């Protein structure tokens, strides 16, 4: 039986809403199941629908989704120990790198001037975010710098696909990368700077949107 995209989208939205409810109501034991299900569903969806890709794109994307799943699991327990937050950071950094490799394989002819402008704007944003946070980072200053560079690399390689794939594929992936940056920014500000109202809803909402758009955009490729 072929899994239809619209059917999966409905299931995915249901899983995200279920996790948002369990997260907002602090049902921690139940959330150990609802949160991982979001990425597990994407792994199975892409695993089935992405078989027409080259091996590099297919494997890098699956690797990115699996590292994201690990990151989600580690961050479920970051309230118990700072080690879980660090492990989550590492897992998501590896996810960003894997996504970046997947995107870079589709970057053949680069428009250097355009790419430099986008890269410059993203670096300005990343630098500004770090400057705002750095006094509260303690021993995590270097890891956070590396992490910011990782997610900016994801966004830059997502943009460099612009003239190599069809327009819907480019837009979905690049917007997904921006949603990922927004999600991580909210998480970082809430953790290190000040409490943001409804932060768990905002973080998971933008994060789930980012992951779905990245996968959907990759699948919406040129044949």
pLDDT of residue 45: 95
Instruction: With a cut of 80, say whether residue 211 has pLDDT above it.
Output: yes
Q: b/e map of 169-191 (b: 16 or more CB within 10 Å)? A: bbebbbbbbbbbbbbbbbbbbbb
CB 199 within 8 A of CB 165: no
Q: How confident is the model at residue 25 (pLDDT cuts 50, 70, 90)?
A: confident
Virtual CA dihedral for 65, 205, 34, 152, nearest 10 degrees?
A: 30
Mean pLDDT of 138-143: 93
Instruction: With a cut of 50, say whether residue 222 has pLDDT above it.
Output: no
Mean pLDDT of 131-153: 95
State the average pLDDT for the chain: 93
pLDDT of residue 1: 46
For residue 40, what are the domain limits? 5-219
**Share of residues in the chain with pLDDT > 70 (%):** 97
pLDDT of residue 3: 67
Q: How confident is the model at residue 2 (pLDDT cuts 50, 70, 90)?
A: low
CA–CA distance, 213 with 200 (Å, rounded to integer): 20
Of 38-42, 51-55, 119-123, 169-173, minimum mean pLDDT range: 51-55
Q: How confident is the model at residue 95 (pLDDT cuts 50, 70, 90)?
A: very high
**Share of residues in the chain with pLDDT > 90 (%):** 79
CA–CA distance, 60 with 80 (Å, rounded to integer): 31
The total of structural domains in the chain comes to 1
Q: How confident is the model at residue 73 (pLDDT cuts 50, 70, 90)?
A: very high
CA–CA distance, 96 with 156 (Å, rounded to integer): 11
pLDDT of residue 111: 78
Instruction: Pinpoint the alpha helices (H) of 160-222.
Output: 167-192, 199-219
pLDDT of residue 174: 97
Q: State pTM to two decimals.
A: 0.93
pLDDT of residue 108: 79
pLDDT of residue 26: 80
Helix (H, G, I), strand (E, B) or coil at 76: coil
């Amino acid at each position: 039986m072929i899994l239809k995209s619209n059917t999966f989208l409905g299931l995915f939205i249901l899983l995200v809403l279920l996790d948002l409810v369990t997260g907002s109501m602090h049902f921690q034991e139940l959330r150990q199941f609802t949160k991982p299900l979001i990425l597990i569903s994407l792994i199975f969806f892409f695993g089935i629908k992405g078989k027409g890709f080259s091996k590099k794109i297919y494997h890098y994307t699956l690797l990115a989704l699996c590292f994201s799943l690990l990151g989600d699991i580690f961050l479920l327990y970051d309230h118990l120990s700072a080690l879980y937050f660090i492990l989550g950071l590492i897992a998501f950094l590896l996810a960003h790198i894997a996504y970046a490799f997947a995107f870079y394989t589709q970057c053949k002819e680069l428009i250097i001037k355009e790419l430099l402008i986008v890269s410059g704007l993203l670096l300005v944003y990343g630098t500004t975010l770090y400057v705002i946070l750095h006094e509260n980072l303690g021993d995590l200053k270097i890891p956070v710098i590396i992490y910011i560079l990782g997610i900016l690399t994801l966004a830059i390689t997502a943009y460099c696909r612009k003239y190599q794939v069809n327009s819907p594929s480019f837009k979905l992936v690049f917007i997904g990368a921006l949603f990922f940056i927004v999600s991580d920014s909210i998480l970082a500000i809430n953790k290190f700077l000040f409490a943001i109202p409804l932060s768990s809803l905002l973080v998971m909402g933008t994060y789930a949107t980012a992951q779905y758009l990245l996968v959907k955009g990759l699948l919406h490729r040129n044949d």
